Amino acid sequence: MHEEVCRLANILKKLGAKKGSRVCIYMPMIPEAIYSMLACARIGAIHSVVFGGFSAESLKDRILDADCRIVITADEGVRGGKSIPLKSNVDKALESCPQVSACLVVRRTGAKINWVHERDHYYDEICKTVSADCECEEMDAEILYLYCIPLVQLVNQKV
């Protein structure tokens, strides 16, 4: 697990993340979701986890609210035997999020997905190009590392 977290931390750094950067994690319940959270903490990036069942519109609102610059997602998720088009939802959301410079995609189901060449990167491919060693960024104990929208703000939003 340590090597996976370090690789992902190095991928994030390669994509431009650094201490204080904001990263959106929009994934199913897979190991890479945990690696993503821990990798963000390792480099001092602030992560915002968005439930994989949320719509593109809700995802867009959360990306904008957290001011994320990188999104980590999967091609699809599977919930209750149904496929959830995560990457497709990300593409729709990012139409209104010009500040996002990179989208890291985990191949979960192998589904055919839309690809934006300058922005999108497959996790398994870029993983081969980075080291499995990454030093932890030194952080103060009071530094924000998780961005979470309070439930009160969600009451009037359509999921």
pLDDT of 41-67, one tens digit each?
A: 999 999 999 999 899 999 999 999 999
CATH placement of domain 2-154: 3.40.50.980
Whole-number Å distance between alpha carbons of 149 and 49: 10
Whole-number Å distance between alpha carbons of 9 and 17: 9
Residue 102, H or E segment: strand 102-106
Whole-prediction pTM? 0.90
Domain edges within the chain: 2-154
83-124 pLDDT, tens digit each: 999 999 999 999 999 999 999 999 999 999 999 999 999 999
